[in-house]
A = this chain, B = another copy of it.
C-alpha cells in the first residue's frame, strides 16, 4: 500500500504541470513527441509533420518536401514516362478517338492507371492488351501509394493553413494551432478534402461544358462517372485541350474522392475509439474490477495498477508489450537490483566488450 502511494508522484510527473481539474471538458490533445534519436523512416508519416509549418522559408521547395512525398513523385514520373513510351510505341494498335500521338498515350496511361477506363481508346492487339493489364495493376498499386503517403502529407500541410486562417482574427500561437489540429484532426481533413472535391467537380463540369460542348447534365454525369472511376465512356474527353486538362484533373479528382472515403473511415474509427475510451473511463468501478485490477493482491488498487488496468481495457497495451519491455529491463538490470542505474549501463557495456 505504501509503495503504491509512493508511486503516484511518478505518474503525476508524467503529466502536464497544469492543474488537472476539468481536463476532460477542455481536452488538449498533445501530439506525442518522438524521441529525438528514433528512426525517422520507421515512423508513420502522420506523426512526423508536426513541425512542417515551422520550416525555414529559405529552403528550396524540393528540400521542404517530405521524403515519402518525394519518393511518390519520383515513382509517378517514372510510371507515366514508361507508360507513355509504351503506349506511344503501340499506338497503331490502339483503336478509337485519337488526337495527338504523345498526348493520347499520356491520356490513355492516366485513364488506365486510375481505372477510369472510358473505352474511348482501346487496345486492339495482344501486346497492347497485355500492356494495359500490366499498367492497370501497377497503376492501382501506385495510386494506393499516393493515397497512403503523399495525399495525407499534402492535406496535413493545408490543414495547418486552414486552421491558421480560421483563427486569423484571434491571437493564437503555434502551440494552440497544433493542439486545435490534433483534437479535430480527422474532422478538418474530411472537411478540407470534401471542399477540394466540390471544387474539382465544379471545375470539371464547367470545363466539359465550355470545351467539350456538353450540356449541364451530361457534363456533371461525365464528371461523376470519372471521379468514381466508373468511366462508362459514352461521354469523355475527345478534344486536344480536353485531354490535356483530363490528364491532370482525372488524377487529382479520383485520388481526392478516394482520400475522402479514407478520411471518413478514419473519422469513424477515431470516434469509435474515443467512445470506447470514454466508456472505459466513465464506467463505474465494481468490486470485481477492483479485484481484477489488484495485481499484487494487497486488496487495494494503486495508481499504477489502475493505469495499467484501464489502458489494457482501452486496448492500448497488452500482455506482450509489457512482457517484451520487462524482458529488456531484466537484461539491462545487470546487478539485479530491480532498478537501472548508471552502473548497470556501464556493466552492460563492459560485459558486451568482453564478449
**Residues of A that sit less than 8 Å from B by CB:** 1-16, 20, 23-24, 27, 29-30, 32, 34-35, 37-39, 42-44, 47, 112, 115-119, 122-124, 126, 129-130, 132-133, 136-137, 140-141, 144, 148, 217-218, 220-221, 224-225, 228-234, 257, 261, 264-265, 269, 272, 275-277, 279-281, 283-287, 290, 292-293, 295-296, 299-308, 310-330, 332, 337-342, 345, 348-349
Of chain B, the residue at the smallest CB distance from A272 is B42
Contacts of A284 in B (CB 8 A): 348-349
10 A/B residue pairs, CB under 8 Å, sorted by A: A7-B304, A35-B292, A47-B315, A129-B218, A136-B230, A144-B264, A148-B265, A285-B340, A299-B341, A300-B337
A126 CA / B214 CA spacing, docked (Å): 13
Beyond A10-B295, A132-B224, A286-B345, 11 extra complex contacts between A and B, CB < 8 Å:
A11-B322, A16-B319, A38-B279, A39-B279, A47-B315, A117-B233, A132-B232, A141-B261, A302-B338, A307-B329, A310-B325
Q: Which residues of B contact A303 (CB under 8 A)?
A: 326, 329, 338-339
* Contacting residues, chain B, for A12 (C-beta < 8 A): 326
**Chain A, interface SS category:** helix
Bound Cα distance from A8 to B312, whole angstroms: 18
On whether the beta carbons of B38 and A313 are closer than 8 Å, the reply is yes
* B276, B332, B339: the one within 8 Å of A5 (CB): B339
Bound Cα distance A182, B230 (Å)? 38
